[in-house]
Structure 1
Amino acid sequence: MGHREDLLEGAKRCLLEKGFVRTTARDIVKESGTNLASIGYHYGSKDALLAEAYLALVGDLADAFDGEQAAPIDAEPGSLERFQEVWANIIGTMRGPGSMWRLSIEIVAMGDQLPAVRDHLASQQHDAARALVALFSGTKEEDVPDETLNTLGKFYTTLMTGLIMQWKFDPQNAPEADELAEGLRQVMEAARRT
């Protein structure tokens, strides 16, 4: 591995241990075995490096959502059963005390103090929403039209944000996938009656 990759891996470890605000450039250099000048040369700034590290951590979760580490998603795309299966896998990533999702809460809470990180991650939010729509609908990300991204993608992103907050704030009372599916079923039933 070169300095760029070493920095990224070191930043990922620092984020998981210390979070965004408490991680310093010196922490990353110590963890990665590189030097301070490498951060600017390869990433432009510590904040840009931390944003990339966070995105890499989220990307590492892809297998937990629908890859080899995940429970199989067998239900029909778009079905209530698939909704439950996908959320069960996502919620599974939130259970552990060392879950990287606490970093998402830190970004929300400290966004004004981390504007470069917030702005970089906000620009990536469309890609995350597109990936969620593809996962629930059983399609490829590139096949998700923009109009679907701007409706269903925002719906799933809003659910994801709420789940992260609930699982980190009050995990004993946070919703399980079957409860989410039942809630959605009730909403659908009520909409049919009106």
Structure 2
Amino acid sequence: MGHREDLLEGAKRCLLQKGFVRTTARDIVKESGTNLASIGYHYGSKDALLVQAYVSLIEGMGDRFEPGWGAGGTSQAPPGSLERFREVWANIIRSMPESRGIWLLGFEIVLQGDRLPEVRKMLVEAEEQGRSGLLPLFNGIPEADQSKETVDSEGRLYQTLLQGLMVQWLFDSDSATDADQLTEGLRRVIEGTGRNS
């Protein structure tokens, strides 16, 4: 690995150990075995590196959300179906215990957003990528082929559900909504819309 990759891996470890606000450039250098000048050269700033490290941690969780994960790698649930919806949410929920540190880190960043305007700006830009990255899990269409309208509607819905589920799970995992409850709620909403049209 080169300095760029070493810095990223060191920053990820620092984020999980110390959080966003308490991680210093010196912590990252110590953890990565690099030097202070490398941060500026490769990432521009410590905050930019930490944002990239956070995004990388989130992306690393994405594989566990895939349909078929934990079930031999294949899914029988067709894209766009309630079965696929339930399967993806079951995978997300199954990953929660091992991803707790990453979810907590996300909330730390949200709560510190006013104090870190540049970080907030970088993360707002990453939010759209997150929305478009969730869509293929549910609809089976490659991320590059998702329309802007789909990202701005369905992508936002899934992202909102994910963030709400994170809050519930972090607050009290025993009472948090499960995949069956989410799916039944969606089924009832769909049936209710059909009755009222």
Q: Same fold by TM (over 0.5)? A: yes
Q: How does 1:8-157 map to 2 (within 5 A)?
A: 8-66=8-66, 70-71=70-71, 72-96=74-98, 98-157=100-159
- The alignment partner of 2:102 has SS state of coil
Equivalent pairs counted in the alignment come to 194
Say whether residues 1:183 and 2:188 are aligned partners: no
Taking the aligned partners of 1:40 and 1:149, their CA distance within structure 2 comes to 33
TM-score computed with the length of structure 1 as normaliser = 0.94
**Cα deviations across residues 18-40 of structure 1 (Å, max 9, x unaligned)?**
11011111111110011111111
> How far, CA to CA, are the matches of 1:185 and 1:160 in structure 2?
18
- Residues 131 and 51 from structure 1, CA distance in 2 versus in 1: closer, same or farther, beyond 3 angstroms? same
- Structure 1 runs of 4+ with >3 Å offset: 67-73, 96-99
Separation in structure 2 between the aligned mates of residue 169 and residue 108 of structure 1, nearest angstrom: 16
Q: Which whole-Å CA distance do the structure 2 matches of 1:160 and 1:177 have between them?
A: 11
Following superposition, the deviation at residue 62 of structure 1 comes to: 2.0
Query: Any gaps of 5 or more consecutive residues in structure 2?
Result: none
Report the Cα offset of residue 68 of structure 1: 8.2
The 2-side partners of 1:18 and 1:98 are apart by: 14
The percent identity for this pair of structures is 58
Maintained 8 Å contact 1:132/1:153: yes
Normalised TM-score (structure 2): 0.92
Check the 8 A contact 2:67/2:75 in 1, yes or no.
no
Residues 155 and 186 of structure 1: is their aligned pair in 2 closer, same or farther, counting only changes over 3 Å? same
> What are the ranges of 5 or more consecutive residues in structure 1 without an aligned counterpart?
none
Between the aligned partners of 1:68 and 1:191, the Cα distance in structure 2 is: 30
